[in-house]
Structure 1
Amino acid sequence: MRIHGLEVEGPVLDGETRCRHYHGERDRIAIRFYCCGRWFPCHSCHAEAGCGGHAVWPADRFGEEAVLCGGCGHLLTIREYLEGDPACPSCGAAFNPGCQLHRGLYFE
């Protein structure tokens, strides 16, 4: 599904990047996976339809834009996403703070 000009893959449910696995009010990000460069709403979407060679973003690349706000389309660097408030710095849309539990599936 095209969302804010990017192709977000997997079982996407709406234009804010919610998917079959995570579809709560604050589930509104997509992540560009390091291994394949493709955008997915979550690790489960990537496991089902991704590249088959999962790899996490190394810490020395945290300055790269790899998180999409499904609310407004703002691209966040990994550092902005991990160190900022659990909300988009551009539009203020809240992100799910529970995503921190899965940090190791995406980022070193």
Structure 2
Amino acid sequence: MLALINGIDIDNQGRCVHYHEENDVACLKRAQCGEYYACYLCHDASENHHFLASDKNDSPVLCGVCRHKMNFDEYTSGKCPYCGHAFNPNCKKHYSIYFS
């Protein structure tokens, strides 16, 4: 069974209404509940609390293409270490939101 990706109008690879380019397939885990969301905006629009960053070593990222869970170092290589799909390089602008 594939890991569930939460979000607004998500496709089968985790792209959402907010981020929907070809390489917008990195889904982020919320620390408090351990759920993966397409983005922090989807999380905050869907829940009654704000997105809380995850520890960098606790599989905080899920590849939307193959559902491989990875740590921060694997994610920052720029592509999924399992399937090779590229991630959006502009996501680094949000590191302070996603990772603790």
Residue 78 of structure 2 corresponds to which residue in structure 1? 86
Describe how 1:1-108 pairs up with structure 2 within 5 A: 5-57=2-54, 61-82=55-76, 85-108=77-100
Structure 1 alignment gaps of length 5 or more = none
Contact kept, 8 Å, 1:69 with 1:88, in 2: the verdict is: yes
Instruction: Output the CA distance in 2 between the equivalents of 1:65 and 1:27.
Output: 18
Change (3 A) 1:72 1:51: same
RMSD over aligned Cα, in angstroms? Answer: 1.6
Structure 2 alignment gaps of length 5 or more = none
Instruction: Output the CA distance in 2 between the equivalents of 1:31 and 1:50.
Output: 15
| Number of residues of Structure 1 aligned to a counterpart in Structure 2 | 100
TM-score, length-scaled by structure 1? 0.82
The one-letter code matched in structure 2 to 1:24 is E
TM-score, length-scaled by structure 2? 0.88
Q: SS at 1:73's partner residue?
A: coil
Contact kept, 8 Å, 1:30 with 1:67, in 2: the verdict is: yes
Change (3 A) 1:88 1:47: same
**Percent of counterpart pairs with the same letter?**
34
